[in-house]
Structure 1
Amino acid sequence: MAADDIEIVHALDMSLGESPLWSVARQTLYWVDINRGTIYAWQPAGEAPPERIRLEEKIGCIALCEDGLLASMSSGIVRLRLPFDGRLERLAANPEWKKEGKEARQEGQGNRFNDGRCDPAGRLWVGTIDAEEAHPTAALYCLDGGQLKRRVSGIGISNGLAFSPDRRWLYHTDSLTRRILRYPFDVERGELGEGDTWVDLEALGLPGVPDGAAVDSEGCYWSALYDGGRVVRFSPQGALLAEYPVPCPHPTMLAFGGADLRTLYITTATQHLDGEGRARWPAAGSLLSLPVAVPGLAEPNWAGR
């Protein structure tokens, strides 16, 4: 396995591709373009191109539910059934988002939802991002029992959420700090202990910031380094095991998929590239893949109503 094994699965022009998510039951890969409010759905076993669902707000992340998806949009978390019929069921409002007017479709302001995923018990964890991407005004929340509860405050860009296979640890990062934290996790109660620095990119001399992540079945944590042009793999002890350069500077997030969960899918972005940069990096904004030896973990469904 080498960086040369990375392939362009779909040549796309995503502004901010994010939140790749593999459904074992449906054998389908889902992902989003945050800035364009678009959800993609694609079945590798077929020949059809990705389907697209366009919503009216930015979509920070998605999660699986029994008959469709959850989407953490700017203004709140919604449920949509598949095939999509145009209806959205509102599950929770974003406490950091305010509408500028009375019209439901009018743009709002504040901190939108960003990275998130379900824990092994089916709770949805989702964080926000500071509107200016510079100040610690964001937070990490948990949608549990129909209530959205704030769990961690003082965050700039909530990212890198993942859980260890033994269910003992929750991983999370504030991308602005360039550090990945590890929190003791009680999966039965959905509670966190005190987090501490588990990986420090500065200390390791790694470029970019830690963005989206995924954990494999050996408990190793894979991270996309935004503006670092690579994905990296860390051992359960936080040691750097491998680096894989990607053909663009802004990989965003990772997901294990395919029938054996041995394909690492990588979303990418064009949002910070000018015309010269896009010409230099034609793969930017596309969906990439990398075959891996160690399979990933199946993503749990949201366990709510």
Structure 2
Amino acid sequence: MSPAVRVERIDAAGRATVGECPVWRAKENALYWVDIPARRIVRLEIDGARRTEWAFAEQVACFAFDAAGRVLAGMETGVFSVTLGDASEGQAERLAAPAFPASGMRFNDGRCDRQGRFWAGTMVQDMSLASDAGALYRFDEKGVLSAPVVEGLLTQNGLAWSPDGRTMYLSDSHPQRRLVWAFDFDPDTGMPHSKRIFADLHHYAGRPDGAAVDADGCYWTCANDAARLLRFTPQGRLDREIPLPASKPSMCAFGGSDLSTLYVTTIRPATNATESDGCVFALNPGVQGLPEPDYAGVLPVA
């Protein structure tokens, strides 16, 4: 039985339709995230609870910062350099685009590996089609988008790396898959290999959505549709389970001054939504996280 953990709803963050990709910016003491169908990136400055948002011409699904504070984002039609200026409208310049094998696709979950290469996966937005056209791509420090590195994904999710960067985690959150895989990862070449099942959520509650790895090397996944967080040890053993007041947690990220606060974004279901669905939550699980790597390349100003 996991010890009781207090979960705080951050009312100043507002509500999202599909809140995703929380990213902590220590330099700003601020949390960023996206609302995918609203086509927005949102920031909450923790001191003063000041909320800012930027709207875009297409959906933003995932993003990372570079060392200069510019943003690299996976959007509907490709990978973009994004400028978050003083105005409420963000600027975006497409840098690369995959050859989408099906219609109605977009990028979904993504982040940088420990070496600063940006990774993001694609999906067919209509999940009822159960299309396996999704794939995982790498956008390297030279600005080159790879061919598909992992293919056959229904709803790509759960991307994360172990503290030493030598294990890559990837999940498929579609109801027909509900799997988390682990790969051996070559930090020099940026290539994953030796794919194996790390956690099969058919044996647990929910679907494995976005994830984070803590300083102990444990993998935290948002159990979508099950209102909880699950933590798996590096050996794939479930050792923590924390209930949440929202049914569809989507992704988590460590933040705060010492990376001991776990922030969780959520999705607001189309029916039977509660006042907490779509909100951002904060909790202290008793472990610390790891700094989110910056993108190692140089981004143009959009």
Superposed CA offset, 1:139-179 (max 9, x none)? 00000122211101110000000000011100001112111
Task: Name which of 231, 236, 239 aligns with 1:238.
Answer: 236
In structure 2, the gaps of 5 or more residues are none
Number of the residue aligned with 2:57: 56
Cα deviation for residue 273 of structure 1 reads 3.3
Is 2:265 the counterpart of 1:293?
no
Number of the residue aligned with 2:185: 185
Number of the residue aligned with 1:268: 266
Number of the residue aligned with 1:70: 72
Alpha-carbon spacing, 1:236–1:32, altered in 2? closer, same or farther (3 Å):
same
Is 2:84 the counterpart of 1:88?
no
Distance 2:145 2:86 in 1: 25
Number of the residue aligned with 1:14: 16
Distance 1:298 1:155 in 2: 28
Letter in 2 for 1:56: A
Distance 1:255 1:84 in 2: 25
Contact 2:15 2:280 in 1 (8 A): no
Number of the residue aligned with 1:105: none
Alpha-carbon spacing, 1:49–1:238, altered in 2? closer, same or farther (3 Å):
same
In structure 1, the gaps of 5 or more residues are 99-108
Is 2:105 the counterpart of 1:111?
yes
Is 2:245 the counterpart of 1:210?
no
Alpha-carbon spacing, 1:299–1:64, altered in 2? closer, same or farther (3 Å):
same
Letter in 2 for 1:124: F
Number of the residue aligned with 1:147: 144
Contact 1:227 1:250 in 2 (8 A): yes
Contact 2:171 2:180 in 1 (8 A): yes
% same residue: 40
Letter in 2 for 1:265: Y
Contact 2:181 2:196 in 1 (8 A): yes
Contact 1:74 1:94 in 2 (8 A): no
Distance 2:219 2:59 in 1: 27
Cα deviation for residue 207 of structure 1 reads 1.8
Comparing 174-183 with 22-31, which one deviates more in the overlay? 22-31
Comparing 3-12 with 175-184, which one deviates more in the overlay? 3-12
Superposed CA offset, 1:102-147 (max 9, x none)? xxxxxxx421000000001110000011232212111000001222
Number of the residue aligned with 1:34: 36
Size of the aligned set, in residue pairs, is 287
Contact 2:253 2:262 in 1 (8 A): yes
Alpha-carbon spacing, 1:114–1:3, altered in 2? closer, same or farther (3 Å):
farther
Aligned residues: CA RMSD: 1.7
Cα deviation for residue 294 of structure 1 reads 1.2
Distance 2:34 2:84 in 1: 15
Cα deviation for residue 60 of structure 1 reads 1.0
Number of the residue aligned with 1:131: 125
Letter in 2 for 1:96: F
Letter in 1 for 2:277: A
Distance 1:19 1:79 in 2: 17
Distance 1:42 1:69 in 2: 16
Cα deviation for residue 96 of structure 1 reads 1.5
Letter in 1 for 2:135: A
Number of the residue aligned with 2:166: 168
SS at match of 2:145: strand
Number of the residue aligned with 1:302: 295
SS at match of 2:131: coil
Letter in 1 for 2:136: L
Distance 1:152 1:84 in 2: 38
